């Protein structure tokens, strides 16, 4: 066999081996592409109604609205309701009066005021007084986000303009700077379910979605301080 013939056979053989190997690689790539799974994200529907079992107290538990601490104790009462919920503890009137009074004194030392307390300072008071950290400030305030938070088993403390809520059971003058606890919602009736400490009838008190949304506004720490800009935020509290 001549050298030229041997060389020709060798070149042809190498070419065939290259083609076979290349076809195998192509096959592997194609199999990988075909076998890649398709991912689908299922959207969870929120329940029609949520109502979390949260203990209630008015800010004047025994009706002593003339007491300056209780008359201005909506923040302290809201904190007490939220904390008691986290530890599964009921609230009796004596306990509530004592805690609201002590928390007001604590707030005066910590913040310099106990009359009106902003959301950020309410978080600070909550953390320092009860040594509790499982809460945060939520600035994305809308109906759907509130419902989502409640459906996840969390409650919310809301700062509101009490005049806009027009609760017929509020004391006169109505609380312009006020706080309450949102504990649930009713989609069928388009209502939020709240514990409103501004009245002894505030347990499970309902407000229309849009009425409560309109009323939500943070306010500065102090004594009936004036403010122009309406800033909406909520305090989200969750169990440990």
Give tens-digit pLDDT for 85-115: 999 999 999 999 999 999 999 999 999 999 9
pLDDT at 228 over 60: yes
Is 56 among the domain residues? yes
Which stretch of 85-94, 211-220, 221-230 has the lowest confidence by average pLDDT?
221-230
Is 1 among the domain residues? no
β partners of residue 205:
194
Query: Which tokens hold the place of 197?
Result: 């400490």
pLDDT at 71 over 60: yes
pLDDT at 13 over 70: no
* Residues in Cβ contact with 153 at an 8 Å cutoff, skipping those fewer than 6 apart: 52, 238, 239
Per the structure, the count of domains in the chain is 1
List, for residues 14-27, the tens digit of each pLDDT value. 555 444 455 444 43
Residue 97: CATH number of its domain: 3.90.70.10
Q: Which domain holds residue 224?
A: 49-237
pLDDT interval class at 222 (50, 70, 90): confident
pLDDT, residue 24, reads 45
| pLDDT cut 90: percent of the chain above it | 73
β partners of residue 184:
51, 193
pLDDT, residue 43, reads 58
Is 106 among the domain residues? yes
Is the peptide bond preceding residue 173 cis, with omega within 30 degrees of 0?
A: yes
pLDDT at 42 over 80: no
pLDDT, residue 122, reads 98
Is 9 among the domain residues? no
Specify the residue for token string 């939500």: 216
Is 108 among the domain residues? yes
pLDDT, residue 33, reads 38
Is 82 among the domain residues? yes
pLDDT, residue 36, reads 45
Strands 234-237 and 155-161: antiparallel
pLDDT at 130 over 60: yes
CA 240 – CA 203 distance, rounded (Å)? 24
pLDDT, residue 240, reads 81
Specify the residue for token string 């959207």: 43
pLDDT interval class at 137 (50, 70, 90): very high
pLDDT, residue 229, reads 78
Q: By C-alpha distance, which of 226, 213, 111, 108 is closest to 177?
A: 226
* Over residues 31-59, mean pLDDT: 72
* Over residues 109-124, mean pLDDT: 96
* This prediction's pTM: 0.81
3-state secondary structure of 29: helix
pLDDT at 38 over 50: no
Is 13 among the domain residues? no
Query: Which tokens hold the place of 99?
Result: 């805690």
CA 224 – CA 178 distance, rounded (Å)? 11
CA 227 – CA 26 distance, rounded (Å)? 70
Is 7 among the domain residues? no
pLDDT, residue 108, reads 97
């Amino acid at each position: 066999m001549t050298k030229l013939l041997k060389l020709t056979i060798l070149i042809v053989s190498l070419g065939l081996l290259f083609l076979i190997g290349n076809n195998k690689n192509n096959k592997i790539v194609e199999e990988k592409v075909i076998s890649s799974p398709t991912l689908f994200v299922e959207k969870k529907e929120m329940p029609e109604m949520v109502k979390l079992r949260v203990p209630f107290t008015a800010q004047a538990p025994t009706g002593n609205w003339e007491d300056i601490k209780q008359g201005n104790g909506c923040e302290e009462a809201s904190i007490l309701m939220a904390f008691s919920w986290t530890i599964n503890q009921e609230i009796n009137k004596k306990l509530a009066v004592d805690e609201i009074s002590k928390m007001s004194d604590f707030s005066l030392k910590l913040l310099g005021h106990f009359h009106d307390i902003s959301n950020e300072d309410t978080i600070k008071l909550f953390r320092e007084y009860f040594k509790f950290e499982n809460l945060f400030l939520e600035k994305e305030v809308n109906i759907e986000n509130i419902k989502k938070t409640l459906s996840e088993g969390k409650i919310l403390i809301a700062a509101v303009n009490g005049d806009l809520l027009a609760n017929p059971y509020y004391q006169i003058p109505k609380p312009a700077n006020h706080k309450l606890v949102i504990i649930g919602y009713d989609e069928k009736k388009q209502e939020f379910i709240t514990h409103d400490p501004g009245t002894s009838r505030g347990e499970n008190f309902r407000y229309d979605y849009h009425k409560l949304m309109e009323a939500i506004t943070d306010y500065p720490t102090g004594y009936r301080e004036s403010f122009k800009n309406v800033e909406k935020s909520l305090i989200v509290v969750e169990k440990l």
